[in-house]
Structure 1
Amino acid sequence: MTATTGTIDGTTLIAWGFQPGKWFGRALAEANRLRQAGADDDAIFIALQALQPVETLLRTNGLPYGVFLDAEGELERANLAAVTAHMDALMRVPTIVAGAVMPDACPSGTALGTIPVGGAVACEDAIHPGFHSADICCSVAITVFARKDDPRRILDAVQAVTHFGPGGRKAMIVPDFAPDIDATLQANPFLHGLGNIVTGHFGSQGDGNHFAYVGHLSSSGQPALVTHHGSRGLGAQLYKRGMAAARRHTQIVAPRVPAHNAWLQASSEEGQAYWQALQFARSWTKASHFAIHDLAARSLGNAVADRFWNEHNFVFRRDDGLYYHGKGATPSWAGFSPDDDGRTLIPLNMAEPILITAHRDRKQALGFAPHGAGRNLSRSAFLRQEKPGLPEGIDVRFYCGKADLSELPQAYKNAAAVRAQIDKYGLAEVIDEVIPYGSIMAGDWGQDAPWRKKRR
């Protein structure tokens, strides 16, 4: 070996018998850190042996997985074929030990092996940012009001205090869900520098299938507000940073694994930092939901009688030590989160009741239930084939003025069929419903975007 003084470089490592590769940068940093700390070459050599990667290969054949989706008709069969093609490829990823497909599953990307909406996988010592996607902690929250009220008045109040569409709020709300948010952001490499988004996007709902929905409980007639959104720009930036780190790691340990299936080693320092960042995003999103609800409640002068929430786009760690990733899948097991009270929400579409469910923990489904927003056609394909109309009998509003026709009920899977399959496969127990009065969605906010005006 070389002498125990001076800087260690790549030539030194090659002379010691190490194979050069993308891991050399990390190895050189560690080797020189150890040398400066006084370690001799033998100790450094042993430490680098532990760092040298052993390639983790894709499985030759994918693992079997549970399918809880019945297909009737040509469109549904084509959708199921696409979903299973993605899952067959996905289940070759070496970190995955089990998988399942929910009744509302549909593809969420074109690259083979992209986890579908309604897909769930359990992974060993691995967090896959691509399996929760950029809409981290997309979730549903309900507030039940103490006093009966005019539902139109409630919807008006919500419309006045929420924000849909790109960017954040004009009138910002300062988050107060954690004792020292700035210190948390500063200390975590995945959150550092995101303070403006944390504040600016708080209490906003984005676009797409996110909504504010007003109705009443079937059981008691009490009015209820349900909101649906994720962690907005915070989640998008966290996902971007997480994917970059995951790809760096996976290029070293499993370069043949597709980039969209990259992972962070959960037990590593970087993996733990990402896990903590996910928990921050979760707390932020929960607080963001209820900040909107509280503003509406104060405007109405109506007290809060009950509230709860649940995410359906997140990573969970169960007692078996595995990391359970749900992409558009609702957890349905006791203690899935610190604030679980045994109830979850499954929305279907704006014209249908939102289901309030109790847990069933179907093992073959990895303990998940659907989140209710699956499609048989992509947005663009739906609009090419259909000319949908606004549903009758409910108050439908689009925050940005123009209707987004790809979000109308006809764009989604048959609600009765999804609910029947929840019952058939024992994925959750429906214990109550929120009967719809009306809802607010972002609408087609891009219709008047500058590039579209120029083209016209």
Structure 2
Amino acid sequence: MSKLKITGKELRQLGYPEGPVISITMNLVQKHYKYASKDAVFTILKTVLQTPSDFVSDAVLAPVAAQLLPPPPKEEDGTAVSLNQSGIAFNIFGREHIEEGALAQMYTAAKLPVSVAGALMPDAHYGYGLPIGGVLATRNAVIPYGVGVDIGCRMCLSLFDIDPKELTNRTHYFVRELNEATLFGSGAQFTKAENHAVMDHEAFQQLPFLKELHGRAWKQLGSSGSGNHFAEFGVVEIHEQDAVLGVAPGRYLGLLSHSGSRALGAAIAGHYTKIAISKRRLPQDAKNLAWLDLNEQEGQEYWLAMNLAGDYASACHHIIHAKIAKQLGRKPLKMVENHHNFAWKEMLDGEEVIVHRKGATPAGKDVLGIIPGSMTAAGFIVKGRGEAAAVNSASHGAGRKMSRSKALQSITDADLKKELAKHGVTLISAGLDEAPFAYKDIEVVMKSQRALVDVVGTFTPKIVKMAGDKIKKWQEKGAD
């Protein structure tokens, strides 16, 4: 087998900036991925480029991620801030399933002077700043990396009154609809921009920084990105009548999508994190938890920009779902959706606080949400129980148990093909780093949060599309 070689030119074409990151990446690939396919390696490198914060603790890719993240401020910049000696108390759900790195990050976040309350969800794992699966309430302060890079990353489920057997009887038809409804890939853009009111949002005009991002954001409107983002058809099962969900018991065809605010959100996160770090100089292990006060101009700007990114992410989902609903000739009976990378103003013990949910689902009393499993494991339609001990939150998925680099090194095409066949799933495209084996058992995660949510329905994937190189070439000839 010939050894893989990549060039600086190829990395630049992927979007990698000029600088040391080019040579670092080339050397890393030569050392760790020399027998991998070029498509597989390029898929993971695109994901690192889009969300470098997800790879800061990766055993292989951390050096590349470090080069792509905002540089630390100069030592003399900002006001020195000390952490409290003893942090606020917070609850941990599913402690036995959570890695030590995520716990350490949460304990650090609990020591911030602005922290009021917190919780750690059972799907938690190491992140950048606040751990993924971390929930933190603060007093009049917003932490850009407490929200995350992919601001407004969210779930959206449409239920259609269509017999889900159609997914098997007319597989080619549904494959075609997913292929035509959205684009995947870190730099994916449409040649013809969609129309949506979000592009007239006041923030684009009020903040010069955002005005410069308007054109690219428009071309990416309705796209889905890379990493763990997906669009898929599946079977929705509602076992009992629920007054909040308002859908009769039965089996329905479901369209489920998962994506965020694309390059717009990443740019906002990077820009305002750099400002926050420059204003408040925290100890090294906490520097990425730097915050912006909502009474200061930068804090107000970030809040405006964050909400724009959330609205933009929502618009992307609605465009995808509207396209498919039009092709199906049906309006959805119900749409369930939620952010899981965002910050909200909420009341806690009679005080308004800022609740950061980074990879966590809002689970206030009777609030509906979606908690997905994997490309073969069922996801859950849930109703929040309003558990104060969890700051009205739940997990945002199963959570990774295997890093992307480890997944690429240990999972084979044959492994994935066998698992898909076992569950009757048609995979249009994905990377091996998103194979089901890379994720925790969603059933175990759900058992760890029975006090946080009630399950009101399930979604079982049947036709899945993600970014990646494992692509089934479907012939349109003879398709329904």
Please give the secondary structure, in 1, of the residue aligned with 2:449: helix
Which whole-Å CA distance do the structure 2 matches of 1:256 and 1:419 have between them? 34
Q: Which residue of 1 aligns with 2:280?
A: 250
Match of 2:425 in 1: 395
Match of 2:197 in 1: 177
1:327 alignment counterpart: 358
Query: Which of residues 450, 458, 467 is equivalent to 1:433?
Result: 458
Q: 1:438, CA displacement in angstroms? A: 2.1
How far is 1:434 from its partner? 1.5
- The 5 Å alignment of 1:48-447 reads 56-71=81-96, 76=97, 79-109=98-128, 114-148=129-163, 150-151=166-167, 152=171, 153-178=173-198, 180-181=200-201, 183-219=202-238, 220-251=250-281, 258-319=286-347, 320-334=351-365, 342-387=367-412, 388-390=415-417, 391-392=420-421, 393-399=423-429, 403-423=430-450, 426-444=451-469
1:306 CA displacement:
1.6
Contact 2:408 2:432 in 1 (8 A): yes
2:427 and 2:315 mapped to 1: Cα distance?
A: 24
* Residues 73-111 of structure 1: CA deviation (Å, up to 9, x unaligned): xxx4xx5322222222222222212221101111124xx
Asked whether the equivalents of residues 69 and 105 of structure 1 are also in contact (C-alpha less than 8 Å), the reply is: no
- Specify the code of the residue in structure 2 equivalent to 1:176: H
TM-score by length of 2: 0.72
Deviations 1:16-75 (A, max 9, x none): xxxxx857xxxxxxxxxxxxxxxxxxxxxxxxxxxxx7x54211233322110142xxxx
Return the alpha-carbon distance in structure 1 between the equivalents of residues 373 and 440 of structure 2. Answer: 8
Which residue identity does 2:361 align to in structure 1? T
CA–CA distance in 1 between the matches of 2:163 and 2:105? 47
Contact 2:398 2:441 in 1 (8 A): no
Query: Separation in 2 of the partners of 1:141 and 1:148?
Result: 20
Q: Classify 1:225/1:351 alpha carbon distance in 2 versus 1 (closer, same or farther; 3 Å).
A: same
How big is the shift at 1:427? 1.2
- CA contact 2:407–2:432 (8 Å) conserved in 1: no
Give the conservation status (yes or no) of the 8 Å contact 1:190–1:273: no
Q: Structure 1 residues 256, 59: CA separation in 2 closer, same or farther (over 3 Å shift)?
A: farther
**Contact residue 147 and residue 303 of structure 1 kept, 8 A:** no
Identical-pair percentage: 30
Q: Whose Rg is larger?
A: 1
Amino acid at match of 1:168: A
Taking a change above 3 Å as real, the CA distance of residues 236 and 361 of structure 1, as seen in their structure-2 partners, is: same
Other structure's SS at 1:361 match: coil
Q: 1:276 to 1:171 in 2, by over 3 A?
A: same
Letter in 1 for 2:204: L
Structure-2 separation of matches of 1:266 and 1:373: 33
Q: 2:127 is paired with a residue of what secondary structure?
A: coil
Instruction: Give the number of aligned pairs.
Output: 371
Output the CA distance in 1 between the equivalents of 2:432 and 2:460: 22
Report how far residue 343 of structure 1 moved. Answer: 1.1
| Structure 1 unpaired stretches of 5+ | 1-20, 24-52, 335-340, 446-456
Cα distance 1:178–1:406, how it changes in 2: closer, same or farther (>3 A)?
Answer: closer
Report the AA paired with residue 318 of structure 1: E
Letter in 2 for 1:332: A
Q: Distance in 1 between matches of 2:264 and 2:191?
A: 18
TM-score, normalised relative to structure 1: 0.76
Once residues 397 and 386 of structure 1 are traced to their aligned partners in structure 2, the CA distance between those partners, rounded to angstroms, is 16
Counterpart Cα distance in 1 of 2:218 and 2:176: 25
Cα distance in 2 between the residues matched to 1:330 and 1:102? 9
Question: What does residue 5 of structure 1 align with?
Answer: none
Shift of 1:249: 2.0
Alpha-carbon separation, structure 1, partners of 2:367 and 2:379: 16
